[in-house]
Structure formats: C-alpha cells, structure tokens
C-alpha cells in the first residue's frame, strides 16, 4: 500500500514517513502544498496524510482541488487541537478523517489502517483468504494459524492483494502501489515476489490471470 505525507514541519514529516514505512507502507513525502497537490494529482496513492497549514498552497485548497478533479483516495487531515473549525472545513472539503495535533504516532497508524480497510470494504484488521490471515495491525501473516515470515516487499504485495481480494490486479497497478517514488520500478520484480510468496505460503491462493495480472482467491478445497 502506497501513502503520501504532506507536512511542512521537517521533523514531523520525517517522523511520519519513518513510522509509516516501519509499518510496512511505501511512503512518499511533500513539504508544501504545491508539491503535495502535484503528487496527489499524478500518482495513485492508497491514502494521504495532509496537513492543513501548508506553505504555497493550503491544505484545504489542495484537498478541494483533488476532489474537483475526481480523486477519490482517502485523506486524513492533521489539524490543531483547538481549531474545531478546521475539522469542519476539512470534512466539507472532502476529508475522510482527522487527527488533532499533538498526537501519538500509533493514533495516526490506527486511523490509516481504518481508512485503508474501509476503502477496500473490510470490517476488521484481519484480512482472510482461505487459510491465509493477514493482521494489518501487527503486520503478521499466518497460514492455518502458523506464522509466515515475509520481507517488507513480500508483505506489501500480499497486503495489497488481500485488500483487493477477488479482483484481478495488473502488474502495473502493483508496481504503482507497492513502491515509493524513488524506487527503481521494474514490473519483472513483481513476478519474483509472487513466486517467493507462493513458496512461503505453501498453498495456491495467488492465481495468475494470463495477460491481465494476479488475483487472490481461496484454494478450491478451502471454499
């Protein structure tokens, strides 16, 4: 899952990027409204963390512009605790949720998990496909209750497929959503990660749809 952080405070920006990266997300960052608007308008993010008090272009204007152009990604706004009017304005502009400053990083992570879960139509932190369970809260994967150790890229790939269980996902979509902006993207690496995942999971849940991409579905004996 790929996220964008738009925050002008360099320390907070860095802390958010680090925490979200450590939680298993691919993360891009912007330090002003113009850069954030451009990235959100041109890149396919699964969710965005957006500060309202930004230089060059304020957060409300950024958000309103995204929504006018049809961008539907979930947006979590950051706002000062005593500015209730910011929260109202943010929701009216198209925000999906907010976190008030100062905040605990775990609070932001929980809000992001909820936004991603809801946008994909899931009710809980546990994503299940047959015997495979992925807990987005702990970033743990198990098969029939047995833990499976995955690398960060393997986890991102499985998490994206689990969030979009039952839908064909193209290699291009996977590349766009698994890697941050600075990563040397190569669609051939997706095949490598899929092969590793199949081997580690030990069951046939990742189906290759020839010419289209991949789809996650329970094995026949688990339906």
Q: Name 86's Cβ contacts closer than 8 Å, sequence gap at least 6.
A: 52, 77, 79, 80
Q: Evaluate whether 193 touches 161 at the Cβ level (below 8 Å).
A: no
- Is there a single domain that holds both residue 10 and residue 113? yes
Residues 11 and 110 in one domain: yes
What's 110's domain CATH number? Answer: 3.40.50.2300
Instruction: Check whether residue 93 and residue 135 sit in a common domain.
Output: no
CA–CA distance, 178 with 25 (Å, rounded to integer): 8
Residue 140 sits in the same domain as residue 52? no
pLDDT at 223: 47
How far CA 102 is from CA of 21, 56, 60, 80, in Å, comes to 20, 23, 19, 7
Which among 80-84, 145-149, 208-212 has the top mean pLDDT? 145-149
Q: How many residues does the chain have?
A: 223
Give the span between the Cα atoms of 12 and 4, in whole angstroms: 14
Same domain assignment for residues 135 and 102: no
**Each residue of 145-182: pLDDT tens digit?**
999 999 988 999 999 999 998 899 998 888 888 877 66
Looking at the structure of the chain, the number of domains it has is 2
Query: Domain of 166: which CATH number?
Result: 1.10.10.10
Under the banding of pLDDT at 50, 70 and 90, the label for residue 109 is very high
- pTM over cut 0.85: no
Range of the domain at 156: 126-222
pLDDT at position 220 is: 65
Domain match, 115 and 139 both: no
Q: Which of 119, 138, 172 is the last residue of a domain?
A: 119
Lowest mean pLDDT among 59-63, 82-86, 190-194, 211-215: 82-86
Domain closes at, from 57, 88, 119: 119
Residues 50 and 83 in one domain: yes
* pLDDT of 96 higher than 80: yes
Instruction: Indicate whether 29 and 69 sit together in one domain.
Output: yes
- The verdict on 115 and 142 lying in the same domain is no
Residue 33: per-residue pLDDT: 96
Average pLDDT over residues 117-130: 85
Q: Return the sign of the alpha-carbon dihedral for residues 181, 182, 183, 187.
A: positive
pLDDT band at 183 (very low <50, low <70, confident <90, very high): low
Same domain assignment for residues 114 and 140: no
Q: What is the pLDDT of residue 17?
A: 96
How many degrees, rounded to 5, is the angle at CA 168 between CA 135 and CA 44? Answer: 75
Report the DSSP beta bridge partners of residue 132: 129, 143
Residue 185: the pLDDT is: 59
Rounded to a whole number of angstroms, the distance between the first and last alpha carbons of the chain is: 27
pLDDT in tens, 2-29: 999 999 999 999 999 999 999 989 999 9
Instruction: Identify the domain boundary among 119, 152, 175.
Output: 119
Of residues 21, 194, 205, the one with CA closest to residue 108: 21
Same domain? 108 vs 151: no
Residues near 71 by Cβ (< 8 Å), separated by ≥ 6? 40, 41
Judgement on whether residues 44 and 131 belong to the same structural domain of the protein: no
Q: Mean pLDDT over all residues of the chain?
A: 90
Whether 213 shows a pLDDT value over 80: the answer reads yes
């Amino acid at each position: 899952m790929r996220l964008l952080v738009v925050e002008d405070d360099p320390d907070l920006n860095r802390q958010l990027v680090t925490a979200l990266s450590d939680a298993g997300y691919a993360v891009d960052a912007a330090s002003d409204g113009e850069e954030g608007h451009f990235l959100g308008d041109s890149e396919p993010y699964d969710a965005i963390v957006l500060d309202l008090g930004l230089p060059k272009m304020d957060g409300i204007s950024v958000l309103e512009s995204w929504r006018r152009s049809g961008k539907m990604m979930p947006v979590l706004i950051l706002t000062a605790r005593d500015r209730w009017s910011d929260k109202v304005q943010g929701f009216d502009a198209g925000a999906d949720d907010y976190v008030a400053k100062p905040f605990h990083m775990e609070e932001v992570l929980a809000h992001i998990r909820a936004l991603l879960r809801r946008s994909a139509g899931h009710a809980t932190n546990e994503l299940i496909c047959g015997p495979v369970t992925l807990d987005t809260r702990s970033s743990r994967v198990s098969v029939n209750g047995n833990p499976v150790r995955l690398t960060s890229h393997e986890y991102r790939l499985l998490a994206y497929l689990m969030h979009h269980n039952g839908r064909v996902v193209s290699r291009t979509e996977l590349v766009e959503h698994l890697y941050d902006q600075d990563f040397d993207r190569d669609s051939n690496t997706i095949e490598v990660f899929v092969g590793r995942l199949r081997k580690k999971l030990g069951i046939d849940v990742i189906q290759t749809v020839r010419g289209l991409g991949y789809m996650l579905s329970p094995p026949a004996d688990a339906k």
